[in-house]
Every structure is written in structure tokens, then in C-alpha cells.
């Protein structure tokens, strides 16, 4: 894995993670052997491993663990100490995208994505608390996700910048080339974060930091209410 010499830090890429022949065989499996959710415009996803619950912010114990299919096994990153807890295959028909986001900090730790099919530009954008003094001037960068390349996001790229893919029919490359969008597939790999708490403190992007701030605000409000009540009692 090679780290890209850009901001944000923490984007690592392994180009040609698999051969073109291997990729062609996978696309055949995706198109002819998998059962996708009903057709709709936009992105479609299939999941394996544990399912994350947005209610409890941990593994959804009601949904059984889905074993990884045979074709997925040679595609698992081997640079972590254990296999991923969750894998998501997504199909982007031409023009489809994914809104800018950070993958939930508290739930997941490491993040990898393998690109297959057509290339696409991914936007990374610096994000943080609204009152961080940056005056709204946020850095952003576009990364060309090439087919058969494995990308890892860690550090700033994972926690402090959002990533997304614009919904559009073409991408304009830095040299001015207008590249039509074609079918793309990605496989996203996630590892559950032990303890389900993130300590990055980014109140703009981190769910743990936002929750702590919310709790603290609620606590301060309660204290203020209580001291007002005791003052009222003293007055009477
Ligand atoms: O399609 C990709 O390469 C990444 C998708 C993504 O960001 C996500 O599923 O969280
Ligand atoms: Fe993501």
C-alpha cells in the first residue's frame, strides 16, 4: 500500500490488487449470479458479515452473521490483524453517486474499498466543527478511483475529511478530458471499533464527540435549572 502524498493524509492505495481476468470473472458473478435488491435508480448494496445497528450503535444481534461467499475470500485485505467484520458490495450504475459522509466513527475503525468496473472521481472534503475558525474555507481534493485498486482510509482521510461521489453522467479529469460514467462496483470493508467510542474529538464529524457535547449541554442545562430552582427556594 502506498500513501498518496496529498492532503488529507491517510489515503493508501494498492493498484492492481487483482488481475483484469480476475476482475472480469467477478463482474460476471455480480451481474449473473447475485441476487440484488429490486431495481431502482441509483446505488444498490449487498452485505456480508455482521450488520451494524444505527439504533444501538453496535452489531445488530437480531440479524444473523452472513458468511463471506467463496469469491470474496481472495479479495479480503490482509494488512489488518483479522478479517473485516462487515463487507458491503455496491453497484453504481452510470450517473449514480454517494453523498459526502464519514463512515460512523464510533462503530468502525479501519476502512478499505476495492474498486471494480469503471473508474470514478471521489471527492474528499475537509470537515470539522462549524466554529473551528476556518471561516468556511475547506480544502477538497478529487481522487480517481481506478478499477482493481484497493484504497485504505485512515487518520485524517478516515476521520476528519468527508468522502463522496457526485451524482453525474461524466467526470472531468484534471487534464480536461470528459470521461463518461459507466457501471462501477465497489467492495467496502469495515472493522468494528473495540469499545464503540472514538476519541478524535471532531464535533463536526464524530458521532462520539457530538454525543458527548449533547450530553454535556444537557448536563449544563440541568445544572442551570437546578441552581435557578434553589435560588427560587431561597427567595421564598
Ligand atoms: O464506493 C466506494 O468506493 C466507497 C463507498 C463508501 O464510501 C461507503 O460505502 O461508505
Ligand atoms: Fe464511506
Summarised one tens digit per residue, pLDDT across range 142-168 is 999 999 999 999 999 999 999 999 999
- Alpha carbon of 187 to ligand 2 centroid (Å): 11
Residues 224 and 186 in one domain: no
CATH code assigned at 21: 2.60.120.590
Nearest to 178 by CA among 121, 124, 123: 121
Residues 106 and 164 in one domain: yes
- Alpha carbon of 109 to ligand 1 centroid (Å): 15
Residues 139 and 224 in one domain: no
Place of cell 449473473: 32
Mean pLDDT along residues 165-193 = 97
Q: What global pTM score does this model have?
A: 0.89
Distance CA 17, CA 23 (A): 10
Residues 85 and 165 in one domain: yes
If you take atom 9 of ligand 1, which residue's CA is the nearest one?
A: 188
Task: Dump pLDDT digits (tens) for 29-74.
Answer: 999 999 999 877 799 999 999 987 767 666 788 889 999 999 999 9
Ligand (nearest to CA of 45): 1
Residues 128 and 46 in one domain: yes
Residues 185 and 70 in one domain: yes
Task: Calculate the average pLDDT of the chain.
Answer: 90
Residues 144 and 211 in one domain: no
Residues 126 and 226 in one domain: no
Angle subtended at Cα 97 by Cα 93 and Cα 101, rounded to the nearest 5 degrees: 150
Q: How many CB atoms lie within 10 A of CB 140?
A: 14
**Cβ–Cβ < 8 Å for 113, 186:** yes
Distance CA 27, CA 150 (A): 16
Structural domain count of the chain: 2
Return the ligand 1 atom nearest residue 164 CA: 7
Place of cell 481472495: 74
Give the domain extent around 56. 2-199
Distance CA 165, CA 158 (A): 15
If you take atom 10 of ligand 1, which residue's CA is the nearest one?
A: 103
Residues 127 and 30 in one domain: yes
Residues 23 and 120 in one domain: yes
Residues 159 and 57 in one domain: yes
Residue 236 has pLDDT above 50, yes or no: no
Spell out the SS3 assignment of the chain. CEECCCCCCCEEEECCCCCHHHHHHHHHHHHHCCCCCCCCCCCEEEEEECCEECCCCEECCCCCCECCCHHHHHHCCCCCCCCCCEEEEEEECCCCCEEEECCCCCCEEEEEEEEEECCEEEEEEECCCCCCCCCCCCCEEEEEECCCCEEEECHHHHHCEEEEECCCCEEECCCCCEEECCCEEEEEEEEECHHHCCCCCCCCCCHHHHHHHHHHHHHHHHHHHHHHHHHHHHHC
Residues 179 and 229 in one domain: no
Amino acid at each position: 500500500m502506498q500513501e498518496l502524498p496529498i492532503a488529507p493524509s491517510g489515503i493508501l492505495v494498492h493498484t492492481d490488487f487483482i488481475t483484469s481476468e480476475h476482475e472480469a470473472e467477478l463482474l460476471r458473478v455480480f451481474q449473473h449470479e447475485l441476487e440484488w435488491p429490486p431495481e431502482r435508480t441509483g446505488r444498490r448494496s449487498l452485505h456480508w458479515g455482521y450488520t451494524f445497528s444505527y439504533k444501538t450503535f453496535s452489531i445488530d444481534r437480531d440479524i444473523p452473521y452472513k458468511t463471506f461467499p467463496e469469491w470474496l475470500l481472495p479479495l479480503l485485505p490482509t494488512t489488518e490483524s483479522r478479517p473485516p467484520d462487515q463487507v458491503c458490495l455496491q453497484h453504481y450504475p452510470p450517473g449514480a453517486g454517494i453523498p459526502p459522509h464519514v463512515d460512523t466513527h464510533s462503530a468502525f475503525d479501519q476502512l478499505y474499498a476495492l474498486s471494480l468496473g469503471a473508474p470514478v472521481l471521489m471527492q474528499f472534503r475537509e470537515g470539522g466543527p462549524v466554529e473551528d475558525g476556518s471561516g468556511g474555507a475547506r480544502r477538497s481534493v478529487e481522487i480517481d478511483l481506478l478499477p482493481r485498486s484497493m484504497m485504505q482510509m485512515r487518520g485524517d482521510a478516515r476521520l476528519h475529511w468527508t468522502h463522496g461521489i457526485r451524482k453525474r453522467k461524466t467526470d472531468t479529469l484534471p487534464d480536461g478530458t470528459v470521461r463518461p460514467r459507466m457501471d462501477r462496483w465497489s467492495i467496502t470493508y469495515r472493522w468494528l471499533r473495540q469499545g464503540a467510542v472514538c476519541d478524535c474529538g471532531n464535533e463536526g464529524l464524530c458521532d462520539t464527540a457530538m454525543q458527548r457535547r449533547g450530553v454535556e449541554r444537557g448536563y449544563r442545562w440541568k445544572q442551570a435549572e437546578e441552581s435557578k430552582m434553589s435560588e427560587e427556594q431561597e427567595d421564598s
